[in-house]
Amino acid sequence: FNFKIIYRRYAGLYFCICVDVTDNNLAYLEAIHNFVEVLNEYFHNVCELDLVFNFYKVYTVVDEMFLAGEIRETSQTKVLKQLLMLQSLE
């Protein structure tokens, strides 16, 4: 197999990413941390129920931060600004 799973636990929630075996673990651990911080800011202290009942918003966050499985955006400010703009369109 040419893939590995990188995961991190935050307050009982596990966040996992499947990546190529040659990819840098620390870069993806940082990406997971960044993703969780954006979720925390967006949902105001994210919990499991936020993820379950707002899965479409979580997918929007993923779309803003990752593109074709690669890290697209690392600036939390830019991601949150874009998310708030999209939310205003609803």
For range 42-63, the mean pLDDT: 94
Q: What span, in angstroms and rounded, lies between the C-alpha atoms of 90 and 72?
A: 24
Average pLDDT, the chain: 94
Q: Note the helical H segments in 44-75.
A: 48-53, 55-65
- Whether pTM > 0.75 for this model: the answer is yes
DSSP code of 46?
A: -
Q: What is the pLDDT of residue 70?
A: 87
pLDDT digits (tens, 9 = 90+) for 2-31: 999 999 999 889 999 999 999 999 999 999
Q: How far apart are CA 83 and CA 59, in angstroms?
A: 11
